Amino acid sequence: MFGLIGHSTSFAAARNLARSLGFEEYAEGDLDMWCSAPPQLVERISVTSPTGKRIEGAYIDSVFVPEMLSRFKTAKRKVLNAMELAQKTGIDITALGGFTSIIFEDFKLLREQQVRATTLDWTRFTTGNTHTAWVLCRQVEENAPKLGIDLHLAKVAVVGATGDIGSAVCRWLSQRTGVQELLLVARRPQPLADLQQELGGGRILPLEEALSEADVVVWVASLAQASSIDPSRLPRPCLMVDGGYPKNLDTRAAGDGIHVLKGGIVEFGSDIGWQMMEAAEMARPQRQMFACFAEAMLLEFEGLHTNFSWGRNNITLEKMDLIGAASLRHGFQALGLDVPAAVPS
Ligand code: NDP
């Protein structure tokens, strides 16, 4: 069985969801009441691959909302309690969605393996970041040519380059895609220098300078709020793949040669018949989902009950190949731009 641990995008969205599910006392409750609420197994799901294999899963809402990020103990407890519920439910492989994998890493929850009577078994959990990184790279490779951008001649900025997903994207784009130049953006200088050395290239730039040169931008910074950018400083055409959760990029950036694509989202080949993506602002919530969630499904389809994506900066190209091939085999497609193909000049 596969599992997905998620949360609402805001307290207001969580209250609306609670109302729609008939949890009236939660819908009326204040943030303090939500802070002490336990995780909920909200939905059970079945998915059938084009190969004919059928898998069963469950969606667990951690009852965390981003407004709790500053409440260290609460955020920590929400993630651990949701993991405990997944394990006690007998789920073999569960993806940590949204902020939960970042809370797990940043708050060092590896040290908190004991949750009441349950010893958490880390092999039952995955961040889903390998599939997310693979999907983001595929979105770049499939969509840049639609805008007339030749990636071999293109500068690609990765915002959040030193992160788990960002560093994997950089490795793939430099070694597999062969982009002309990578522009590396993050705040801390030392991890940037280490990444540059590992890649054997790439230019470290502040965000504003990278944006003024980049033909393609992959946004994978862990930002609690979207960045607003000045579109007048961007080259045209420009492809912006927004892989952050919540979205890293103000939607006002789009328009007039600037194409913003929702990053790290995949579409399954048929309707799944679930409710959980309705609240996630997907264009086709019956088929679309976060790539990290899809990773848990892929691991279940493939019988790989292991923490496939775990820790930080461990994602290899071989693992991206493996999960990418599984993604295609089981009927997932990376979300693309809805634009007519560019005529080569
Ligand atoms: P990490 O914490 O590993 O990395 C975050 C990166 O962002 C680091 O390079 C960090 O470097 C950089 N960063 C943080 N703040 C800023 C800033 N203000 N300006 C520039 N760079 C910044 O995160 P992950 O790689 O695990 O995740 C990245 C994003 O992807 C998150 O938003 C996450 O929610 C999203 N995600 C999406 C998924 C999907 O399915 N679509 C699945 C999983 C994650 P530094 O601290 O030095 O600035």
**pLDDT 10s digits, 159-181:** 999 999 999 999 999 999 999 99
Q: Where are the domains of the chain?
A: 132-265
Q: What is the pLDDT of residue 342?
A: 61
Q: Is 132 in the pocket of ligand 1 (CB under 6 A)?
A: yes
In degrees rounded to 5, what are phi and psi of residue 78?
Answer: -60, -45
Coil, strand, or helix at residue 288? strand
Q: How far apart are the first and last CA of the chain?
A: 50
- Ligand 1 atom closest to the Cα of residue 191 is 47
Mean pLDDT by 10 residues, the chain (345 residues): 94 91 91 96 96 98 94 96 98 96 94 97 98 98 98 98 98 97 98 98 96 97 81 92 85 83 97 86 93 98 98 96 98 92 56
Coil, strand, or helix at residue 341? coil
For residue 302, the tally of other CB atoms under 10 A from its CB is 18
Strands 265-268 and 238-242 come out as unpaired
Q: Is 292 in the pocket of ligand 1 (CB under 6 A)?
A: yes
Alpha helices in 2-128 (DSSP H): 11-20, 24-28, 31-35, 72-88, 100-106
Half-sphere exposure of 19 (CA within 13 A, CB side): 9
Q: Is 185 in the pocket of ligand 1 (CB under 6 A)?
A: yes
Q: Which residues is 45 bridged to in the sheet?
A: 57
Distance, in Å, from the CA atom of 110 to the CA atom of 59, rounded to the nearest integer, reads: 23
Q: Is 128 in the pocket of ligand 1 (CB under 6 A)?
A: yes
The interface predicted TM-score of the complex, written ipTM, equals: 0.98
**pLDDT 10s digits, 185-220:** 999 999 999 999 999 999 999 999 999 999 999 999
For residue 330, the tally of other CB atoms under 10 A from its CB is 22
The H or E element spanning position 298 is: helix 291-301
Q: Is 159 in the pocket of ligand 1 (CB under 6 A)?
A: yes
What contacts 72, CB < 8 A, 6 or more positions away?
107
Cα of 222 vs centre of ligand 1, distance in Å, is 3
Q: What is the pLDDT of residue 343?
A: 52
Q: Among candidates 139, 100, 125, 108, which has minimal Cα distance to 222?
A: 100
Coil, strand, or helix at residue 1? coil
What tokens were used for 121?
């078994």
Q: Is 243 in the pocket of ligand 1 (CB under 6 A)?
A: yes
What is the CATH T-level fold of the domain 132-265, as seen in this structure?
Answer: Rossmann fold (3.40.50)
Cα of 28 vs centre of ligand 1, distance in Å, is 33
Q: Which residue has the tokens 């002309």?
A: 180
C-beta of residue 301 within 8 angstroms of C-beta of residue 330: yes
